[in-house]
Amino acid sequence: MEQSPRLALSYVQPNQAQKHVTVNETIRRLDALTQMTVRSRTIAAEPETPSDGDIYILATPTGDVWSSFDDDDLAAFQDGAWERVSPFAGMRAWVADENLLVVYDGSGWTTLSGDAAETAGLFGVNTTADSINRLSVKSDAILFGHDDITPGSGDCRAIINKNLVGDTASVLFQTAMSGRAEFGLTGDDNFHLKTSADGSSWQDAVVIDTQNVRMGLGTTPTARFHILGEAGTNPADGDFHLEKDDGFALVVLSEYSGISPTSSAFSIQRRARGSKASPADLVDGDWLGGFSFRGYADGAFRQTALINGIVDDTVSGSDLPAALSFHTGVSGLNERMRIASDGGVVIGSPTGNSHGVGTINAEAVYDDNVLLSCYVFDQALDGQIDPAKWDALVPDRIRAPEHDLERELSPPVKITRTHEPMRKFKARIGSNHDPLTLDGYARHWKEKRHLTAMPDEAQYDPATGLAAGAWIQRLIETAEIHAVLIEALNQKVKALEAEKRNSKITPV
């Protein structure tokens, strides 16, 4: 063998004359190939005035000497002549005009590294890359940090770019190489979040329309917020749409057009028997939907109040009689009030149910203005009234707290009340219009044209009127005054009858 197998370095032969020629040739070849730097790999024309030591990687070479060389050969200019060096797999060189390191892979020169225009066909970290996954990484974590060396802007952004609208730019999550979740631009320009149970069949969990910022849960949105809806089932101006396969639906519409004074926002709950694909008529007693109020107690959220719509009569054709029902309770819910389809209000469980528009049918009516008035008899029998006794019988009022949507603005306030009707009655005792004297009582209604407990015609406002309890209290006080005056007349009559009996002449 006359040359080394890899670098083709010439060996000194036994008894060789001029050994220095062979040694110098080997040194020149080592000088060219050790820590090799080439000036370029893109110059095709042979330079006219090369410098000693210049090396080029050839690509479609031309020129007196280069034209006899092959592509990817090395052309090294040494001692005034061009020497051809054939590359072998694994040979590396630094390309000066590109500022990068290249390697010959047996069929061509490829990039290893560089800080100007670095490119690599495949790159694997702790694993092997392939033609599909050209960049492959096996690691417990991957960190992308902002550039604090150059320094950069302080931002850090991962960019995934696709070619056409119908292509995909996404991030895919897998279990054992089987897809389970994916988000990004998958098949269009809307943002999708998809899930899969088996890696082959996929469903949209969230879709955001990038044109109008509409969001759909489980569907492509056709409303501002659309949950499990179907195109065509929600109104065109809907801002919120919810549908379920059992026929329930909630739609919140927002109207901004101002075309009609009735334009407003609506909360619509829809109910049907059957299925969404084939709905059927409701029947008497079916619920239409409602609002449930729940509070946390003893380890669970418990239903404390309920407002719901309910079918309250026979459904016939397009006639659908419905009522609004109100439920409250402590350990369970009971219906407390119902606004019936005929317009009547039913409170509690009275007999006869609703009696029509404008009526109220209740088990009982309570009004805390219905105050006891037998203070009239205290004055008539005892000659005096104890105000403290009657004030103690008046129930205090509790002003409810004020709230906004998130917090209590003011706490409940206790309002202490006194027995004002008793005080007005007491103030008239002994006056010129004393209601317990026949003359004073008569003088009052003759002069003032109203009874002592009744409102003054000139001061009474029929628009505001009096509470039912106030009317009842005044009527009871009047009846008690009449009872006292009747007894006063009874005593006068008895006295006159006794006087008449005593005035008769007794026969001798």
pLDDT at 194: 95
pLDDT at 256: 45
* Bridge partner list, 132: none
Domain boundaries, the chain: 35-125, 287-362, 375-498
pLDDT tens for 194-208 read: 999 999 999 999 999
Distances 235 to 206, 220, 230, 380, 507 between C-alpha atoms, Å: 20, 15, 11, 73, 108
pLDDT tens for 250-289 read: 555 544 444 444 555 566 777 888 877 788 999 999 998 8
Residues with pLDDT less than 50, the chain: 1, 4, 115-117, 229-238, 245-248, 254-261
Distances 485 to 143, 197, 255, 410, 436 between C-alpha atoms, Å: 100, 91, 67, 50, 6
Looking at the whole model, is its pTM more than 0.85? Answer: no
Q: Return d(Cα 459, Cα 264) in angstroms, integer.
A: 41
